Structure 1
Amino acid sequence: MRAESGDAAGSAAVSAAPVRPGPLGRLGVWAATHVRLVLLAWVAVVAVLGAFAPQVNSALSGAGWQANGSESVAVRELAQRHFGGNASSALQVVVSADRPVSDPAVRRVVDRATGIVQRDARIAAVVPPRPGATISADGRTAIVLAGAKADPNTMVRAADDLKGPLSALSGDGVRVNATGASVLWSDFNTANHDAMIKSEVVSWPVTLAILVLAFGSLVAAGLPLLLTMAGLAASAGSLVLLTHLMPISIWAMNFAMMFALALGIDYALFLVMRFRGARMGRARTSVDAVAETMDTAGKAVLLSGATVLVSLSAVLLVPSPAFRSMAGGIMLAVAFVLAATLTLLPAVLGRIGHRVDSLALPWVRAGEHRSPRFAAWGRRLWRRPVLFGGAALIVLLALAAPVLGLRTAMPSINVLPGDASARAGYTAVQHGFGPGAPGTLQILTPTGQAATVADQVGGTPGVAGVMPAQPAADGSGWSLIQAVPAADPSDPALASTVDALRADLPHGSLVGGAAVENLDLQDLLTQKTPLVIGVVLALGFVLLLLALQAPLIAALGTLASLLSTGAAFGAARLIFQDGHGAGLLGFTSQGFLDGWAPVFFFAMIFAIAMDYTVFLLASAKEHFERGGDPREAMVGALAHSGRVVFAAAAVMVAVFFTFALSGPLPPKEMGVVLGVAVLLDAALVRLVLLPVLLRLTGRAAWWSPRWLRRALPRVRFSHD
Structure 2
Amino acid sequence: MSTVGPIGRLGRYTATHFRVVAIAWAVIAIGLGFFAPRVEHALSGAGWESTGSESVQARDLLDREFGGLSSSALMVVLHSQRQTVGDAGFAGAIDRTERTLRADHRVGRVIAPQPGVSISRDRHTAIVQASAAASSNEMVRAADDLKTRLPQVDGVQTALTGASGMWSDFNVANRDAMMKSELISWPVTMVILVLAFGSLVAAGLPLMLTILGLVASAGTLYLGTQILDVSIWAMNFALMFALALGIDYALFIVMRYRAALFGSKLDPVAATTETMDTAGKAVLFSGLTVLISLTAVMLVPSPAFRSMALGIMVSVAFILAATLTLLPAVLAKLGPRVDKGALPWAHSGEHRSPRFAAWAERLWRHPIAFGSVALVLLLVLAAPVLGLRTGMPSIKVVPDQDGSRVGYGLVQQAFGPGATGPLQVVTPSAQADATRAALLRDRDVAGVLPTVRGSGDHVLLQATLKQDPSAATTGDAIDRIRDALPAAALVGGSVAENHDLEATLSAKTPLVIGVVLGLGFLLLLFALRAPLVALIGTVTNLLAVGAAFGVARLVFQEGHGSGLLGFEPQGFLDAWAPVFFFAMVFAISMDYTVFLLSSAKEHWERSHDPREAMVGGLAHSGRVVFAAAAVMVAVFFTFALSGPLPPKEMGVILGVAVLLDAFLIRLLLLPVLLRLTGRWAWWLPKPLDRILPDVRFGHA
Q: TM range, normalised to the smaller chain? A: over 0.9
How many residues were matched structurally?
699
Contact 1:63 1:249 in 2 (8 A): yes
Q: Which residue of 1 aligns with 2:507?
A: 527
Question: What is the TM-score normalised by the length of structure 2?
Answer: 0.99
For 1:348 and 1:367, the matched residues in 2 are separated by: 19
For 1:433 and 1:487, the matched residues in 2 are separated by: 12
Q: Does 1:21 align with 2:1?
A: no
- 1:602 maps to which of 582, 591, 596: 582
Deviation at 1:281, TM superposition (A): 3.6
- 1:415 maps to which of 397, 404, 429: 397
CA deviations on 1:605-625 (whole Å, 9 max, x unpaired) are 000000000000000000000
Q: Which residue of 2 aligns with 1:101?
A: 85
- 1:161 maps to which of 134, 137, 145: 145
Q: Which residue of 1 aligns with 2:613?
A: 633
In structure 2, give the amino acid aligned to 1:68: T
In structure 1, give the amino acid aligned to 2:612: E
Deviation at 1:586, TM superposition (A): 1.3
Distance verdict in 2 for CA 1:281–1:367, change over 3 Å: closer
Q: Which residue of 2 aligns with 1:59?
A: 42
- 1:659 maps to which of 639, 664, 667: 639
Q: Which residue of 2 aligns with 1:13?
A: none
CA deviations on 1:497-554 (whole Å, 9 max, x unpaired) are 2111100111101111111111111111111100000000000000000000000110
Q: Which residue of 1 aligns with 2:302?
A: 320
SS at match of 2:147: helix
Q: Which residue of 2 aligns with 1:399?
A: 381
CA deviations on 1:37-56 (whole Å, 9 max, x unpaired) are 10010000000001111011
Aligned ranges for residues 105-116 of structure 1 at < 5 Å? 105-116=89-100
Any gaps of 5 or more consecutive residues in structure 2? none
Aligned ranges for residues 138-537 of structure 1 at < 5 Å? 138-166=122-150, 169-472=151-454, 474=455, 476-537=456-517
For 1:40 and 1:245, the matched residues in 2 are separated by: 29
Deviation at 1:424, TM superposition (A): 0.8
Q: Which residue of 2 aligns with 1:7?
A: none
For 1:365 and 1:252, the matched residues in 2 are separated by: 39
In structure 1, give the amino acid aligned to 2:97: A
Any gaps of 5 or more consecutive residues in structure 1? 1-17
Q: Which residue of 2 aligns with 1:8?
A: none
Question: What is the TM-score normalised by the length of structure 1?
Answer: 0.96
Deviation at 1:677, TM superposition (A): 0.2
Moved more, 461-470 or 685-694: 461-470
In structure 1, give the amino acid aligned to 2:216: A
Aligned ranges for residues 674-713 of structure 1 at < 5 Å? 674-713=654-693
Deviation at 1:441, TM superposition (A): 0.8
Aligned ranges for residues 585-624 of structure 1 at < 5 Å? 585-624=565-604
Deviation at 1:336, TM superposition (A): 0.2
Q: Which residue of 1 aligns with 2:118?
A: 134
Q: Which residue of 1 aligns with 2:628?
A: 648
Contact 1:622 1:633 in 2 (8 A): yes
Moved more, 492-501 or 415-424: 492-501
Moved more, 570-579 or 274-283: 274-283
Q: Which residue of 1 aligns with 2:538?
A: 558
SS at match of 1:439: strand
CA deviations on 1:445-503 (whole Å, 9 max, x unpaired) are 1001102211221221111111122221x2x2111001111110111121122111100
In structure 2, give the amino acid aligned to 1:634: M
Aligned ranges for residues 562-573 of structure 1 at < 5 Å? 562-573=542-553
Contact 2:93 2:153 in 1 (8 A): no
SS at match of 1:147: strand
Contact 2:58 2:490 in 1 (8 A): yes
- 2:19 maps to which of 36, 40, 45: 36
- 2:51 maps to which of 56, 59, 68: 68
SS at match of 2:149: helix
In structure 1, give the amino acid aligned to 2:26: V
For 1:116 and 1:231, the matched residues in 2 are separated by: 42
Contact 1:454 1:468 in 2 (8 A): no
SS at match of 1:366: coil
For 2:407 and 2:152, the matched residues in 1 are separated by: 12
For 1:280 and 1:349, the matched residues in 2 are separated by: 13
Q: Which residue of 2 aligns with 1:3?
A: none
Deviation at 1:354, TM superposition (A): 1.0
Contact 1:568 1:674 in 2 (8 A): yes
Counting aligned pairs with the same residue, the percent is: 64
Deviation at 1:192, TM superposition (A): 0.8
Moved more, 434-443 or 585-594: 585-594
Contact 1:122 1:155 in 2 (8 A): yes
For 2:360 and 2:466, the matched residues in 1 are separated by: 61
